[in-house]
Structure formats: structure tokens, C-alpha cells
């Protein structure tokens, strides 16, 4: 059971039903409410959360990102929560619940990942430089020496980062990438990137991953 989808974008993607940006507390409280209901109805349930969209959503809430200006420097919602990255704080609160209630509400830490380097994710094959960069950018899943070739401009090292958060804030939680895509699925360049990604998932011990979106039978 995936505990909804990309909550830090709800005020944009679902503004008709949730026009206000989601903060740390709302994310925790909704998880407590709905995951507890799921576990009560289906004791065998495995849950995934917070299904966050990407880089800034790992570290900040939508309340932070809608504050205006250089919001990431002040980040008022994060500052009010021990200045912890959103994912770290979320895991900490899930562990707190289990210690108090004796029920594990979260089985998988689920993050979404689309490489932010230009013209790669969800994109056609592109020129020779784009093809080379697509293949290099898989290093963002693991390599501390790879500075992301995007606006992020620092090492992402996503899977080791996820594991460190889990080990520190909620040991025993499994790791999932609920969405990912390296583009060019209709070309051998995208197929090579996908093969590399799957090898990295295996080597790094990722527990679950979902390619967005479905492949066609004629794609390499």
C-alpha cells in the first residue's frame, strides 16, 4: 500500500482538494491516521511512504518551498522541526509511533527519483552529449564522487543516503524507489542506462523499484 503520492506537490497537482502546502506535521499525522487504518484492516499489509517527488522534497516541506525568496536558506518549517531533513524527521516520527503503540506503520522508505540533468528523464534519446550524460548520471544513485550535472550541483548518492537515514532514524525499514525513469526507453542508449540502473539496484541492496511508465514490447 503506497501512502498516497508526492505530498509536497499536492498544492499544485491536487490544488482543487488540497490547495494549501503540506508541512512536516500534516505529513506525519496523515500517515499515522491512514497507515494505522490499513494495518488494522490488513495485518499483512506492507506500506510505502512518503512517496516524495524528488530532491527538494527529501529535505524540505511544501510549507518551506512556498515561503518565497531564498526559502531553502531559512526553511521555517524545517527549522521548527529540529532542522532535520523531511525524510529523516518522518522516519524518526514513524519509529516514535512504533515505540509508543507497538505497531510498525512504515515498511518501506519510498522516494521517487528522476535525474535532474537536462533532457534525460522522461526524454527522447537526444544528441551525443545527452546520451553520454544519461549513462554518466546513473552514478547519482551511489557515487559520492559524482557531482550531479544539474541544478543540484552536489553528490546525490541516493541509495546510500537513504540507507543512512534509515539506519539512523528507523532501522529495519526497507528501501524503495516508487518511481524512476532515465529516458530514451525506445533507444539502446536508454536500454543501457536501464541495465546499469538495475545492476546498481542489485549491488546497493535496494528492495523495490518501479519504472515509470510501462514499456512497449518493441522497446529495447
**Set 6, 52, 93, 179: catalytic member:** 6
DSSP 29-61: HHHHHHHHHHHHH-TT---EEEEE-SHHHHH--
Under the phi-then-psi rule, with left for phi > 0, alpha for psi from -120 to 50, and beta for the rest, what region is 86? Answer: alpha
DSSP state of 132: H
- Nearest one of 164, 155, 124, 161 to 137, comparing CA atoms: 155
52 an active-site residue? no
CA distance 25 to 173: 21
Q: Name the grid cell of 23.
A: 508541512
Q: Name the residues annotated as catalytic.
A: 6
Amino acid at each position: 500500500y503506497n501512502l498516497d503520492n508526492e505530498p509536497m506537490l499536492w498544492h499544485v497537482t491536487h490544488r482543487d482538494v488540497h490547495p494549501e502546502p503540506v508541512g512536516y506535521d500534516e505529513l506525519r499525522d496523515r500517515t499515522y491516521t491512514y497507515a494505522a487504518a490499513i494495518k488494522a484492516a490488513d495485518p499483512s499489509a506492507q506500506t510505502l511512504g512518503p512517496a516524495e517527488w524528488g530532491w527538494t522534497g527529501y529535505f524540505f516541506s511544501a510549507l518551506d518551498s512556498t515561503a518565497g525568496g531564498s526559502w531553502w536558506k531559512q526553511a521555517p518549517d524545517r527549522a521548527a522541526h529540529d532542522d532535520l531533513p523531511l525524510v529523516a524527521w518522518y522516519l524518526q516520527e514513524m519509529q516514535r509511533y512504533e515505540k509508543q503503540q507497538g505497531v510498525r506503520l512504515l515498511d518501506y522508505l519510498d522516494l521517487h527519483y528522476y535525474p535532474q540533468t537536462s533532457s534525460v528523464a522522461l526524454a527522447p534519446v537526444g544528441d551525443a552529449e545527452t546520451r553520454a550524460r544519461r549513462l554518466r548520471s546513473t552514478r547519482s544513485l551511489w557515487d559520492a564522487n559524482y557531482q550531479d550535472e544539474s541544478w543540484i550541483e552536489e553528490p546525490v548518492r541516493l541509495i546510500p543516503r537513504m540507507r543512512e537515514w534509515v539506519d539512523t532514524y528507523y532501522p529495519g525499514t526497507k528501501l524503495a524507489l516508487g518511481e524512476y525513469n532515465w529516458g530514451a526507453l525506445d533507444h539502446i542508449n536508454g536500454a543501457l542506462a536501464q541495465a546499469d540502473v538495475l545492476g546498481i539496484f542489485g549491488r546497493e541492496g535496494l528492495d523495490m523499484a518501479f519504472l515509470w511508465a510501462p514499456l512497449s514490447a518493441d522497446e529495447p
